[in-house]
A and B are shown apart, each in its own frame.
Chain A
Amino acid sequence: MMQLNQSGWKPEMGANDDGAAGTFTGNRALMLEEPLIFEIGGSETTGVDFTVRPELVEGLSSSSGSSDPEGQGFDKLNPNGILGNLLRTAPIGLPGLSEPETIRHYTRLSRQNYAIDLGLFPLGSCTMKHNPRLNEKVARMAGFGDVHPLQPRETVQGALAVIHELAHWLVTLTGMKAVAMSPKAGAHGELCGVLAIKAAIEAKGEDRPVILVPESAHGTNPATAAFAGFRVESIPATPEGRVDVEALKAKLGPDVAGVMITNPNTCGLFERELKTISDAVHAAGAYVYCDGANFNAIVGRVRPGDLGVDAMHINLHKTFSTPHGGGGPGSGPVVLSEALAPFAPLPFVEKRGDEFMLIEEETAGEHHASSFGRMAAFHGQMGMFTRALSYILSHGADGLRQVAEDAVLNANYILRSLEGVLDAPFAGSGPCMHEALFTDDGLAEGFSTLDIAKGLIDEGYHPMTVYFPLVVHGAMLVEPTETESKATLDQFIGALRSVANRARQGDPALKSAPHHAPRRRLDETLAARKPVLVWKDEGLAVAAE
């Protein structure tokens, strides 16, 4: 969760020279520049050798238009070869590299990335925690990684067992009735929950066109509700950073289908009144959607089902540590209350006796007749299910509880260690949950959250989430997670304290940070004004001007 450059800042070309002599290559020791594959590869180069089937060398080459030597009738089907004029003639323009060049290209690129393996990655709401390598090993076992989704059910009982076992954990940990496993990511899970709500309302023969969403919500919440055809109405926050319950109650009525609430919320606070809200929403005939992006703060200590939630997605890539992979893939199973469970999307895995069944369109009518349908091809993000279950089994019920405790402890340690140097708008109202929120209040004239973020890059950290949530000015949302040691936190606190002090004092060098990263600040305005989205020869010329 991040906002892009909001300051409209535009770099001055050629400025900020650090004074060091240039190198012939443009490299700076271990900081290595790497061209695009289109600049170094060739259409005749390949890094893959194929075994040509000996009997294919001689004939049966339908594509070349030769006749069929065995007389099996292919030439009768189409005398010009079965693909005729659909054969590709034009070049594609795909460069290839040999294997060593390929390894080097991507290894060099990888070194321009920050990653959780390199250090603290305190992106609030994103939950960047250690990714255990056991999970990678498990996901790659041939019985999981090398199985086709349409194989006969009898040949994939172990894979279905994994889905079933993970589903059992998710339902039990959340205290809910059922879980839809197929959503592909958090936002897809939100869509699943909102469609279940819409289906439930249709089933009652009602027309409720409105979904209520708090101001502090992730952008995906209103976008999802709008996609599903709802009108989005905003609910304000209280001065202490929580949903304004009275304002919410005032909006409830026969036109409201549901409320989307994040708990813990995006200010890092637990919504104390969620049960009260749920009761009021249910009394008004509507449903409660909980954005479970922050479930990692409460797993094992609180069950959302006890708070009256009807649907909640769980980002397996957050709470259960499947790797973020530079932007996905994610996985967003949705737990459902008794009221919404009948509307869950296909497919389901069910256990009958000792056998695992896959319930798809064919048999859904038997006892899932109200399902709202299918959300994606096949059965969900199996590769994420194996990883998440591996993480869950490693921790166990006791370890998961410790996960939530350590995540919250680490965040509060950061909050209390930094509230003296950064404005912490809600610190006075009590402890935070898994993330600590700060604002840009108190920085020198002309200095912003963006400058602090870029300063942290020079200190060797990925910045926190910036400019989100929208309910405070210049937000900085810090989520350390449970997998950081005290020593790591202490060093980070020292670094952020130092950068914050420079921003308070107006250190001009901070305005041009980062100085030590593979790139200086990038011109996002130019990128949007003159979009160059694919490589073209002339694209280079433009950039060099």
Chain B
Amino acid sequence: MRYLPLTPADRQAMLATIGATSIDDLFADVPAEARLSGPIAGLPGHASEMAVERHFSALARKNMAASHHPFFLGAGAYKHHVPATVDHIIQRGEFLTAYTPYQPEIAQGTLQMLFEFQTQVARLFGCDVANASMYDGSTACYEAISMAGRVTKRKKAILSSGLHPHYVSVAKTMAHFTGDTLDTAIPALDGTDMARLLDTVDGETACVVVQYPDILGRVEDLAPLAAKCHEAGSLLVAVVTEPVALGHIKSPGEMGADIVVGEGQSLGVGLQFGGPYVGLFACKEKFVRQMPGRLCGQTVDASGKRGFVLTLSTREQHIRREKATSNICTNAGLCALAFSIHMTLLGEKGLRSMAELNHTGAVDAAQRLAQVPGVLLATPTFFNEFTLVLSKAARPIVRALAEKGVLGGVSLGRLYPGEATLENGLIVAVTEVVTPDDIETLATALEEVLA
């Protein structure tokens, strides 16, 4: 087997050194009745590299890849152009095949990258500090709710109706077990529920969670909500599933959010059918000791040179065990690296250009699509994603578009099954990869399938 270097002669020599007569001697502690005498029946044997590659190629061909079609899906995962440099660097073995940087003298590459990543995320979100990443946006979101509970010592969270339904679903799962109370609502196409949030926040509220831009693409000023939260002694948690937006619109931190979490997939990571992605987690400095996850910090070595280490570990499970702030161990190291490299390549100038291209492209598309008979634009404000109301249920329309070779968006019927008021809704995302021809193709196809 090509991945196993020991030869039969090596194995014999090693058994002799150990003082064992056969490999079975080394499994002596396994009770006889649990020992398998040979390879498990019904599973195939080893295969050549070529055979494995062919197997996967055949399966890959059964999927419609985003870059092969006009593509308009968003709703928490976005297709952006990732420069070739990003994938080259993350495949360097020194990054790809390193472990968590617990021996900092020989892990400065990963550690310095994480320090840079933390700074990029904190600045993008308008926060003081950020951690070294979480699993993804949805888990970062429930960790933020948990953290707000620790900070305020309260058990109730109010979730905006504009929060991604999968994020709401995850938060509900966790709240069921942690005993937290969640106040949730289904979105409406005729406006956000900002008034509900402002009305509901009270002295029992640990936090209000609001997505920005929201699941339908809408963008709203968070400053009045932040003020209202702070008045009630609650925290404002903002969730950003499209970080590119913050190249064009104000950051949640600027508007007073206390914790800002997000999904970093947009930059560097790619679609990957939903994972692995990278959770972003930032907050005000005064809450840092209640943060979950790994943190990288600056220090010096014995000769006085600047260096970086994992720090404030007394929050974490490997030191604090059942008293830890979270059970999280692994972060999303390599995806954080991809995010950071992409952000470094862009820089502020590139991020702003990219964001503007996204926004103007989306405005273009919204205008064109709103001309299609039976299509109305439901979202008066948006960044690169907006919601259309069709004259028919959107879910079959999306399938019909796919049959025409167009991946036309995410239907609200898929995200909110059974919600009759939403079933005609279609979320359309337009990033820099979408061409004017793509928009025209979608408009034409939409006109045909709606006719």
Contact = CB atoms under 8 A, between A and B. Distances in A.
Interface in A284-304: 298, 300-303
Interface string A152-170: 1011111101100000010
Nearest to A158: B62
30 contacts: A14-B304, A46-B346, A48-B350, A55-B436, A60-B364, A63-B248, A90-B250, A93-B348, A96-B349, A161-B62, A162-B56, A219-B319, A222-B321, A223-B322, A226-B322, A301-B36, A302-B30, A324-B99, A325-B333, A325-B337, A326-B334, A372-B173, A374-B170, A376-B166, A409-B26, A412-B26, A431-B29, A482-B4, A486-B7, A533-B298
Contacts of A139: 272
B98 A115 contact: yes
A519 B300 CA distance: 9
Given A109-B109, A409-B26, A272 B31 contact: yes
B144 interface: no
A140 B1 CA distance: 24
Contacts of B352: 88
Interface in B270-322: 270-276, 278, 288, 294-314, 316-322
Given A123-B99, A191-B327, A327 B294 contact: yes
A149 B274 contact: yes
Contact of A519 (B100, B120, B133, B307): B307
B245 to A, nearest CB: 9
Given A184-B330, A413-B17, 10 more contacts: A2-B100, A11-B302, A126-B99, A218-B329, A324-B99, A380-B274, A431-B18, A457-B106, A527-B298, A532-B298
Contacts of B108: 109, 112-113, 518-519
B52 A134 contact: yes
A191 B350 CA distance: 40
Contact of B106 (A303, A386, A482, A517): A517
Contacts of A172: 40, 42-43
Interface string A393-430: 11111111111011011101101110000000000001
Contact of B67 (A146, A232, A346): A146
A327 B34 contact: no
Interface string A77-99: 11000111111111111111101
B283 to A, nearest CB: 11
Interface in A195-232: 195, 198, 218-220, 222-229, 232
B350 A534 contact: no
Given A534-B119, A535-B119, A99 B138 contact: no
Interface stretch (B73-81, B202-210, B442-450): B73-81
Interface residues on A, range: 35 or more
A522 interface: yes
A50 B433 CA distance: 10
A152 B408 CA distance: 10
Contacts of B43: 169, 172-173, 396-397
A390 B327 CA distance: 29
B60 A142 contact: yes
A162 B63 CA distance: 11
B77 A378 contact: yes
A70 interface: yes
A50 B432 contact: yes
A186 B330 contact: yes
B333 A151 contact: no
B329 A186 contact: yes
Given A102-B344, A138-B53, A146 B137 contact: no
A62 interface: yes
A1 B319 CA distance: 11
Given A302-B36, A518-B106, A535-B115, A528 B45 contact: no
Given A92-B247, A531-B312, A270 B66 contact: no
Nearest to B131: A533
Contacts of A327: 99-101, 110, 132, 294, 330-331, 333
A409 B138 CA distance: 42
B178 A227 contact: yes
A118 interface: yes
A368 interface: no
Nearest to B275: A381
Given A55-B436, A94-B123, A275-B34, A151 B25 contact: no
Contacts of A378: 76-77, 166, 273-275
B41 to A, nearest CB: 8
Contacts of B93: 115-118
A481 B272 CA distance: 29
Contacts of B5: 483-486, 488
A102 B311 contact: no
A60 B360 contact: yes
A223 to B, nearest CB: 4
Contacts of A149: 77, 271, 273-275
Interface residues of B, number: 218
A323 B296 CA distance: 21
Interface stretch (B84-92, B154-162, B189-197, B224-232): B84-92
A359 interface: no
B334 A146 contact: no
A506 interface: no
B273 A376 contact: no
Contacts, number: 758
A417 B13 CA distance: 13
B63 A154 contact: no
Nearest to A114: B106
A256 to B, nearest CB: 16
B375 interface: no
Interface in A9-53: 11-17, 34, 36-38, 41-48, 50, 52-53
Given A486-B13, A528-B312, A325 B39 contact: no
A111 B109 contact: yes
Contacts of B28: 430-431
Contacts of B350: 46-48, 50, 96
Contact of A96 (B47, B309, B337, B347): B347
Contacts of A62: 359-360, 363
Contacts of B393: none
B56 A390 contact: yes
A262 interface: no
B59 A158 contact: yes
A394 B63 contact: no
Nearest to B364: A60
Given A43-B348, A46-B349, A158 B274 contact: no
A48 B346 contact: yes
B353 A46 contact: yes
Q: 6 nearest interchain CB pairs? A: A96-B347, A143-B60, A378-B274, A325-B334, A117-B93, A149-B274
Given A399-B46, A518-B105, A56 B364 contact: yes
A135 B170 CA distance: 30
A314 B50 CA distance: 27
Interface string B173-213: 10011110000000000000000000000000000000000
Contacts of B40: 172-173, 300, 303, 397
Interface string B380-413: 1111000000000000001100100001001000
A523 B52 contact: no
A433 B27 CA distance: 7
B97 interface: yes
Interface stretch (A244-252, A328-336, A439-447, A494-502): A328-336
Nearest to B371: A72
Interface string B259-279: 000010000001111111010
B85 A103 contact: yes
A148 B62 contact: no
B21 interface: no
B276 A383 contact: yes
Interface centre among A94, A117, A186 (most CB of B within 10 A): A94
A223 B354 contact: no
B85 A141 contact: no
A54 to B, nearest CB: 9
